Amino acid sequence: MKVTYIINGKKQEFDISPGEILLDLLRDNGYMEVKGDCYEGTCGACTVLINNVPYASCTTLAAGVDEAEITTVKGLGDINNPHPVQQAFAKFGAVQCGYCTPGEILSAYALLLKDPDPGEEDIKRALDGNLCRCSGYMQQIEAVKIAAKMMREAGDNGRV
């Protein structure tokens, strides 16, 4: 069966098998920034945005999101033009081993799209589905606070 997505702003079509999960489809097609770990939807490493809402791609059927806009962390920015959320995570040491970082950044970005000035409890709830084994989470919370400020100052979802 054929599915069509807009991935990181680019329209793409894929032939998929019934029951194929989005994580495997993405990784098999070169989106290595989407990590896979638990395959149960509990760790957050595979988080992608589907129409700007965070989803665990390891429990999302590829056929179920046909015609969706999918954003991976590379869709926000790259090393030469990082998004404010990516900048803040790097600046505050919220990036350690990096395995959980893409999911955390996407979860933070989705929160900031809905709430440009979240409180600490809102940030904690938004990051709750993203497990990090390398930190105490305080760096991520501080990074989201700074990213929120940067995005408000930049406008246009933080693009400068």
- Structure tokens given for 6: 């807009």
Note the pLDDT of residue 66: 97
Q: In whole angstroms, what separates CA 46 from the centre of its chain? A: 8
pLDDT at residue 137, rounded to an integer = 81
**Topology of the domain comprising 2-73:** Ubiquitin-like (UB roll) (3.10.20)
Residue 125 has pLDDT above 90, yes or no: yes
**Does the domain made of 84-155 have the CATH classification 1.10.3720.10?**
no
Domain ranges for the chain: 2-73, 84-155
| Residue 158 confidence class, pLDDT cut points 50, 70, 90 | low
How sure is the predictor about 160, in pLDDT bands with cuts at 50, 70 and 90? Answer: very low
For the whole model, what pTM was predicted? Answer: 0.93
Q: DSSP assignment of 89-145, as one string?
A: HHHTT--SSSSSHHHHHHHHHHHHHH-SS--HHHHHHHHTT---SSS-SHHHHHHHH
Q: Which of 32, 15, 152 is nearest to 88 (CA)?
A: 152
pLDDT in tens, 76-104: 999 999 999 999 999 988 887 888 899 99
Residue 110 above 90 pLDDT?
yes
For residue 68, give both structure tokens: 């969706």
